Amino acid sequence: MTQAEKNIALITGASTGIGAVYADRLARRGFDLILVARDRPRLDALAERLRGEAGVDVEVIAADLTAEGDLQRIEERLAAGDVTMLVNNAGMSLNGGILDNDTPQLSRIIALNVTAPTRLASAAGKAFVAAGRGAIVNMSVLALAPEMFDGVYSGTKAFILNLSQSMATQLRDKGVRVQAVLPGATRTEIWARSGKDVDAFPAGFVMEAGDMVDAALLGFDRGETVTIPPLSDEQQWLTLQEARLAMGPNLSKSDVAPRYRDALLTA
């Protein structure tokens, strides 16, 4: 996307943390903004600051993306056709793990971390393909680390990584960019909301939100489909990708693999 064209970014979870930093950075790149979150006062304060500091137009939509009516409103806003970037940032973590939470909590995290970003990516993707340009940025924290923390949270983010890579392949020839951002632990309010003390982590473990977003935007500028801001050795990611893709031709066969068939025949 060139700055000669009008750009509008819709950012979910925009009132604090990563979403608020994306709003700041994109405003300074000349994007007009649509800020989406539940906390209207915080959204209004951020919008007022960015209008004054960056001189951009800012639209505020207070919405709970786990509520069907609110989610439909954001889908409809994306379908209007003027948005050029979706930052799918809204998310939550659990207080405890899968055995510590009941159906309402499990349903809510899936609604916010999986259903909402999937539906918004679909709505945005359709509008972007029709326009011939657009970008979708998805947050996929801990997608590669299922053994760390809670598997429900990392599982929702692994879904987002899968979705992002699939959409990137399907849409790259249609003028639409898709980027998955895989931060590590980042200093935001999500920790306190899920009953965790972010300051209890070892020194050097938690990244500041501003640093994370700046790295993610540089990755976007470089055309990366997957950006991992804390990862120093990019070859580790490339090796993982190569190994995964090498398995592709062997993941669906009419015959059972010899390592199972031979064992069954001798059983």
Phi, psi at 255, each rounded to 5°: -110, 145
Contact between 153 and 94 (Cβ < 8 Å): yes
22, 157, 253, 260: the catalytic one is 157
Question: What tokens were used for 83?
Answer: 């948005």
Q: What is the DSSP string of 123-183?
A: HHHHHHHHHT-EEEEEE-TTTT-TTSS-HHHHHHHHHHHHHHHHHHHHHGGGTEEEEEE--
- β-sheet bridge partners, residue 187: 208
**Which residue type sits at 136?**
I
Strands (E), the chain: 8-12, 32-37, 58-62, 85-88, 134-139, 176-181, 186-187, 207-208, 226-227
Helix (H) or strand (E) holding 76: helix 68-79
| Residue 157 is a catalytic residue | yes
The CA dihedral of 63, 67, 72, 78, to the nearest 10 degrees, is 40
Which of 165, 151, 162, 215 is CA-nearest to residue 186?
A: 215
| Residue 22 is a catalytic residue | no
Give the other-Cβ count within 10 Å of 208's Cβ: 12
6, 22, 126, 153: the catalytic one is 153
CA atoms within 13 A on the CB side of 159: 17
Question: What tokens were used for 117?
Answer: 């970003």
- Catalytic positions are 153, 157
